[in-house]
Amino acid sequence: MEQQGLYMVIDIDKCWGCKACQVACKQEHGIPEGSGNIDVIRIEQRDEYNNLHCDYVPVLCNHCDSPECMEACPVGAIYRDDEGLVSIDRCLCIACGTCVEACPYGCIHITTIDGEEKATKCDLCRDRRKRNFLPSCEQHCMGKAYETCDEQRMENLTKDRYNYRVGRIVYISRKLIELGKNCG
């Protein structure tokens, strides 16, 4: 499923909050304990009518249309790849942490994989997809909240839904009226 115009749609209504994606991602990429590429954030709050709600939001690299990490990287190790995703060239990366600071979403971290300390983030399991596997988070998701797809499918899935995207990750929901409205 290597393709240009790759998107990942995340249906927040379907995320159970089980965190299987966090472990699946770490196993796939050999990321040690500590920070990871993906975190499921639990948001518990009361609405204007005092009803209690709890949502689970998987947060991972948005693969932004205007990536601040790419701007910030002093050695040009961050680039847009042939699929339209924001990628890190591990050979060029000097693990200076500038991109970690620059990312508004906290989705890049410095970690050691195969003995090399580098800036690391989600690549939507590029290697896996090349072998015709789904990204590990998507395959293992208990609620089937994730779906990698092309632009047309993405548009179908966002139609009639509240939706928000700053890049290739597209959040959708049928209940979150303000989805993305406060993101600025």
Partner 1 sequence: MISKKTEFAKKLIGSKYDTTVSQNIIESILNGSHKLTENQYKKQKCGDRIIPENETVIPSVCFSCHSTCEVLIYKDKNTGEILRIEGDPDSPQTRGMLCPKGLAAKQLVYNPKRLLKPLKRVGKRGEGKWQEISWDEALDTVAEKLKEYKEKYGPQGLAILEGTRRGWSRVYTRFANVLQAPNHGAAGWAQCLWPRLIDCNLTFGGGAQYGEAFDFPNTHCILAWGVNPVTCWGVRAADIMLAKQRGAALIVVDPYFSETAAKADIWLQVRPDTDMALALSFINVIIEEGLTDDDFIEKWTYGYEELKNHVKSYTPEWASKITGVDADLIRKAARVYAKAEAACVIRGLALDQQHDSVQVCRATSILASITGNIGKKGGNVVVSSRGDISQNTHEFIKADFIPEEIRKLRIGYNEFPLLTQELSPVPVAHMPSLWETIISGKPYPIKCATIFGSNAIVSYTNSNKVIEALSRLEFIAVCDIFMTPTAEMADIVLPASTWLERNNVISSFQSSNTYTLIQQKAVTIDEAKNDVDIIIELAKRLGLEEHFWENSEKFYDYLLSPTGYTFKEAAAKRRLYKPLTYESYKEKGFKTPTGKIELYSNLAKAKGCDPLPRYTPSFQSFDSTPELAEEYPLIITTGRHESAFRISENRLQPYLLELVPKPYLYINPKTARRLGIENGRKVKVESTAGYAYAYAYYTEGLREDVVQATSGWWGEYNINKTVPWGKYAEGIGTVCARGYLCRVTPAENLGD
Residues near partner 1, by CB under 8 A: 1, 12-14, 16-20, 22-24, 26-28, 32-34, 39, 41, 43-48, 51-57, 59, 103-107, 130-134, 136, 139-144, 147, 162, 164, 171, 173-184
Q: What's the closest the beta carbon of residue 22 comes to partner 1, in angstroms? A: 7
The region that residue 63 occupies, defined by phi over 0 for left and psi between -120 and 50 for alpha, beta otherwise, is left
* DSSP structural state of residue 133: P
Q: Report which residue type is found at 39.
A: D
Comparison of 92 and 150: residue with beta carbon closer to partner 1: 150
Q: What's the closest the beta carbon of residue 14 comes to partner 1, in angstroms? A: 6
Comparison of 45 and 76: residue with beta carbon closer to partner 1: 45
Comparison of 4 and 92: residue with beta carbon closer to partner 1: 4
Q: What's the closest the beta carbon of residue 37 comes to partner 1, in angstroms? A: 11
CB atoms within 10 A of CB 10: 23
Helix or strand or coil: residue 158?
Answer: helix
Comparison of 73 and 172: residue with beta carbon closer to partner 1: 172
Q: What's the closest the beta carbon of residue 81 comes to partner 1, in angstroms? A: 20
Cα distances (angstroms) measured from residue 162 to each of 7, 118, 165: 17, 36, 11
Q: What are the residues whose beta carbons fall under 8 Å from the beta carbon of 182, sequence distance 6 or more?
A: none
